[in-house]
Amino acid sequence: VDLGPGAGAVAWVCADGQHQSAGSCNDLPAMLAAKGCAADGSDCVMRAELFDAAAGAGAVDSHVDLLTTPAQLHLLPAEITATVAAAPAADGSVSVTRSTNATAVLVTRTTGGQGVWSDNAFTLLPGAPQTLVLRTIVGAAPSDAKALAASLRTEHVAMYR
């Protein structure tokens, strides 16, 4: 997609990455079926990435869209593992890297410690670990990495099926 300069520049793109022409896109159920998904999108998610080719940078935005409601998703059981940094960073924050063996959607984490996570309710894909940071709340003591590891809990949609 090529956009003109300025905040008001827009372009519509179809789910298959093609420019929308004449007001219509290819049939979504047919496109999903061609990719091995159920026509209703209940067993797949769509990952959208936006690159700035002019800047030569990597993805400037990457997100996952659900193609149906969470209740209608047919998800495989996901085993999520976490690796907590051995010690807090100089600013008191603690990094936690998550990985999974199956797609996990609406992943959240909780802990007994105080802090603000760098991301909330996200999608975790197999082979694509994500590192999140628990940032210290102003005025609070720095996070204790061992206590964080002991109290860390992860939840996702497939756990409640």
For 68-106, b/e burial (b = at least 16 CB within 10 A) is: eeeeebebeebebebebbeebeeeebbbbebbbeebbbb
Q: What's phi and psi for 70, nearest 5 deg?
A: -55, -35
Average pLDDT over residues 125-140: 91
Model confidence band, residue 113 (pLDDT cutoffs 50, 70, 90)? confident
Would the pLDDT of 123 be above 80?
A: yes
Q: What is the pLDDT of residue 144?
A: 87
pLDDT in tens, 42-78: 999 988 887 777 777 777 888 888 999 999 999 999 9
Alpha carbon distance 149, 13 (integer Å):
42
pTM exceeding 0.85:
no
Q: Rg of the chain's alpha carbons, rounded to an integer? A: 19
8 versus 104: the higher-pLDDT residue is 104
- Write the CB contacts of 141 (distance below 8 Å, at least 6 apart in sequence): 92, 114
Q: State the maximum Cα–Cα separation within the chain, in Å, rounded to a whole number.
A: 58
3-state secondary structure of 146: helix
3-state secondary structure of 158: helix
